[in-house]
Structure 1
């Protein structure tokens, strides 16, 4: 089998690229030939150094680095991205048996859907966010600081001032969304476009939004790239830990404030627009972005818990799964896909993303015996059905086999596939 995996970058700029790169490695280790096609050139992640992985850069530019008007035009529809992808696929010595798209908004644009549809091979898209349905990508009202309740592209959606930047940005994203739908409906027609959901929650929300399109829905867990090790001792840690981009929709401000109110220090790994705000809260330490192995070591040494108090309907934050694998209790928002991997009160806590609820939950973690018990249960439960790279690759191979079978038999869609660890 030969799989072509498409994404914006060959190094992790976010969860989508991280999963795309790790998927490529897992498939290669399973014996699948992989070509990773990335829009923007640059250094490649060492995970891609494998004899069964080929890499093709399209020499495109990140639209965020373009002048605003040009970034808007190319973000809506990049003819150059379509032309270069078409040429790259035609130049491959072995035609891919299937194509798997992970992210397209930063360099590839919706134009790539037309190119992929013309290839004739089955196409999968992993939905790391809501961009296939929602103009701003996170199904969140930034004007109200709450999840959206509008149907995407309904009259209410078209007029809602929900964009995190401006009304002009919203208009551009709406046009991009319409162009995206036109490319999918015009290109795929009766053939299915296979959508891969990374959590039950995101699937339950997205599937109704996309009703009526040529979509076949599947469910596969993201991989967690951690080897099994002795569980951490979170009771010896002293900090409430947050890992990722410091934004309001991710709840970074809530972590700093609630930890301070609960009388516990907080540790922030990452950066973002709220960096100065969280630094100003007493007891907060910000260490910036760190390599994955350094993040793991920091969490094992310092964290009593890892927190993801998302205000938005987050699909499946990897940091929560990594903490469970290490034996660190987790606290997740009841709006996040990660919450379905937590046994409330047994391996961590599921709570509303508000200051009072988080403060109360953090205060409970002053109890060393409770923290140690939660961590041990988290480790044992995670490793009873681990979300390993090998398990992820096996799930993808099963999915790909079903997609190819549907393509060969001419059926309308492949059997809906679901593989997720029960935790």
Structure 2
């Protein structure tokens, strides 16, 4: 098949970009022809250097790097960006069989969808977040530091000062979601969920749209090696952006209560606050290889205590692949890979619950068993690029068959 992948960046700087790039590589290695449409100019990951992958830049800029008045208007409807997308598709030597959208909120707008529909192309969107339903994208109240319970675009939602950046951002994003609803009304769209929890939650939030739902695990690019020995670790580890919604502060507080050092790999708004706490070590960002070298050497467990309904944090899967037990938030989609007490613990993102799980790490024999189970269970059904590409190929085939059935019925 000829697949066009649309993402805003071509480097694995975040979860969605990482999945887009690795999906492209996995599909190319499976024999598919891939055109990677990169919305924003910038570097490209070496994974995209493959004979079956062609990369095209749309030469967009980040909406929030534009003057405020232009950013607001572009966020609602960006005609020039849509035109560049259309021209890129029309200029391809071979018409794609399907367009797979991973990102569109940073430099594009709802205007991209009419461009795709007008060309009669099947469109599939991976739901890395909640932007298809929720204006702030995470279905989380930054003002109350709690998951949202409001109906998106309801009067209560419109009044809530919930955005993580500002009222202006909330206003623009609310307008964008209203435009998106209008744009997608009576249009068929296929969406991919990366966890069972996303299927359950987003299915209800998006009931107003004509969607076909599919379930595919994110790819995890980890080479198999001997499992780590977490019993040798001296700390609990957190990997990622240091923010309150991801629960970085909860890790520090719970570790102190459990009497364990806390190691943070990453940076973010909470960095200064964490550095000032006793028993905390913040080492900043590291290369992926250095991250897991450090975790394998230092970590008794990885802690991922998201306060928001995170769809599928990749660090959880990567830790399990390395044989590192995980303490995961029950609100995160990745918790479905945790068997409590077998390869880690799934607990509420609360200090005492996390501290209780950390205290259970003190028994070295049990800890080694947890690590072995983490590795064994992961590698029984690894979330490899090949497995991901095979699952995507199955989804694409079902989408094409469904469209063919509609054509025959017409």
TM class, shorter-length:
over 0.9
The reply to whether residue 317 of structure 1 matches residue 313 of structure 2 is yes
Question: What corresponds to 2:398 in structure 1?
Answer: 402
CA distance in 1 between counterparts of 2:198 and 2:101 reads 18
Per-residue CA deviation, residues 122-155 of structure 1 (Å, 9 max, x unaligned), is 1100000000000000001111111111111112
Question: What corresponds to 1:241 in structure 2?
Answer: 237
The reply to whether residue 297 of structure 1 matches residue 293 of structure 2 is yes
The reply to whether residue 342 of structure 1 matches residue 342 of structure 2 is no
Q: Is the contact made by 1:260 and 1:281 (CA closer than 8 Å) also made in structure 2?
A: no
Q: Is the contact made by 1:406 and 1:412 (CA closer than 8 Å) also made in structure 2?
A: no
1:412 to partner: Cα distance: 11
Question: What corresponds to 1:50 in structure 2?
Answer: 50
TM-score (norm 1): 0.94
CA distance in 1 between counterparts of 2:353 and 2:301 reads 15
Question: What corresponds to 2:5 in structure 1?
Answer: 5
Task: Summarize the alignment of residues 11-26 of structure 1 with structure 2, pairs less than 5 Å apart.
Answer: 11-26=11-26
Per-residue CA deviation, residues 338-358 of structure 1 (Å, 9 max, x unaligned), is 110000010000111111111
Question: What corresponds to 1:163 in structure 2?
Answer: 163
Q: Is the contact made by 1:332 and 1:351 (CA closer than 8 Å) also made in structure 2?
A: yes
Q: Is the contact made by 1:192 and 1:412 (CA closer than 8 Å) also made in structure 2?
A: no
Question: What corresponds to 2:127 in structure 1?
Answer: 127
Select between 373-382 and 286-295 the one with higher mean Cα deviation: 286-295
Question: What corresponds to 1:215 in structure 2?
Answer: 211
1:65 to partner: Cα distance: 2.1
Equivalent position SS for 1:194: strand
Which of 353, 367, 372 does residue 371 from structure 1 map onto? 367
Task: Summarize the alignment of residues 405-416 of structure 1 with structure 2, pairs less than 5 Å apart.
Answer: 405-410=401-406
CA distance in 2 between counterparts of 1:287 and 1:121 reads 46
Per-residue CA deviation, residues 225-249 of structure 1 (Å, 9 max, x unaligned), is 0121110111111111111111101
Question: What corresponds to 1:79 in structure 2?
Answer: 79
- Structure 1: 5+ residue stretches without partners: 414-423
Q: Is the contact made by 1:256 and 1:278 (CA closer than 8 Å) also made in structure 2?
A: yes
CA distance in 2 between counterparts of 1:272 and 1:253 reads 12
CA distance in 1 between counterparts of 2:311 and 2:292 reads 22
Question: What corresponds to 2:61 in structure 1?
Answer: 61
Per-residue CA deviation, residues 346-383 of structure 1 (Å, 9 max, x unaligned), is 00001111111111211221221121110001101111
Equivalent position SS for 1:365: helix
CA distance in 2 between counterparts of 1:146 and 1:159 reads 16
How many aligned residue pairs are there? 409
CA distance in 1 between counterparts of 2:407 and 2:124 reads 16
Per-residue CA deviation, residues 386-415 of structure 1 (Å, 9 max, x unaligned), is 1111000000000001111112221799xx
Cα root mean square deviation, aligned: 1.4
CA distance in 2 between counterparts of 1:112 and 1:288 reads 36
Which of 249, 253, 257 does residue 253 from structure 2 map onto? 257
CA distance in 2 between counterparts of 1:396 and 1:164 reads 33
1:76 to partner: Cα distance: 1.9
1:291 to partner: Cα distance: 1.4
Question: What corresponds to 1:419 in structure 2?
Answer: none
The reply to whether residue 37 of structure 1 matches residue 48 of structure 2 is no
1:296 to partner: Cα distance: 1.5
- Detail structure 1 runs of 4+ shifted over 3 Å in the superposition: none
TM-score (norm 2): 0.97
Select between 276-285 and 198-207 the one with higher mean Cα deviation: 276-285
Per-residue CA deviation, residues 171-224 of structure 1 (Å, 9 max, x unaligned), is 111101011112222xxx3x5200100000011000111113121111100011
Question: What corresponds to 2:326 in structure 1?
Answer: 330
CA distance in 2 between counterparts of 1:307 and 1:118 reads 45
CA distance in 2 between counterparts of 1:287 and 1:223 reads 26
1:284 to partner: Cα distance: 1.2
CA distance in 2 between counterparts of 1:412 and 1:107 reads 37
CA distance in 2 between counterparts of 1:72 and 1:240 reads 42
